[in-house]
């Protein structure tokens, strides 16, 4: 085989996709609760209990979502995925952190979120508390919950 060589060329580039998601009525009100009240709302759903974030309908019998239910800002971690080497601007945190599923007190399903500090200590079964951004900085996004923090 002929020896065809070249000095390596490299390129650092980025692809950006500026999405704007329409939230819909149910998630829209859930997010309004985060932004305006600093509280987390679920919904009573046939066959599924209190679902957080709310679905708007039942996945078991497709009936319409029932009453809104306020759940606690505290909960129990049901799954952990630790990110040891975050990718700049792709991940929500520059230093190592953990993605978690949190079953909030009063809820029957788990909410996906993250633990920014003490990520090395969080395990399945850890008790955590939602920490909200201050009022005025909240935009009506799941990121209005700044982080979950390990309870003392």
Q: Are 127 and 103 in contact (CB under 8 A)?
A: no
User: Least distance (Å) from other proteins to the CB of residue 17?
Assistant: 4
User: Least distance (Å) from other proteins to the CB of residue 92?
Assistant: 11
- Sites of contact with other proteins (CB under 8 A): 1-2, 4-25, 27-33, 35-37, 39, 41, 68, 70, 87-90, 140-142
Nearer to other proteins, 84 or 121 (CB): 84
92 exposure class (CB count in 10 Å sphere: 0-12, 13-18, 19+):
middle
User: Least distance (Å) from other proteins to the CB of residue 36?
Assistant: 5
The DSSP element (H or E) to which 45 belongs, if any, is strand 40-45
Nearer to other proteins, 95 or 121 (CB): 95
* Rg of the chain (C-alpha set): 20
Look up residue 41 and give its two tokens.
């709302």
**DSSP secondary structure letter of residue 36:** I
Nearer to other proteins, 126 or 138 (CB): 138
């Amino acid at each position: 085989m002929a020896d065809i060589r070249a000095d390596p060329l490299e390129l650092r580039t980025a692809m950006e996709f500026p999405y704007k998601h329409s939230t819909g009525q149910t998630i829209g009100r859930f997010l309004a609760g985060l932004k305006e009240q600093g509280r987390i709302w679920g919904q009573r759903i046939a066959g599924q209990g209190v679902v957080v974030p709310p679905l708007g309908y039942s996945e078991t019998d497709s009936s319409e979502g029932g009453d809104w239910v306020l759940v606690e800002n505290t909960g129990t971690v049901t799954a952990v995925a630790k990110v040891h080497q975050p990718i700049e601007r792709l991940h929500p945190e520059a230093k190592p952190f953990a993605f978690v599923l949190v079953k909030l007190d009063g809820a029957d399903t788990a909410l996906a979120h993250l633990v920014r500090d003490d990520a090395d200590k969080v395990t399945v079964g850890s008790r955590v508390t939602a920490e909200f951004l201050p009022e005025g900085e909240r935009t009506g996004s799941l990121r209005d919950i700044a982080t979950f923090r390990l309870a003392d």
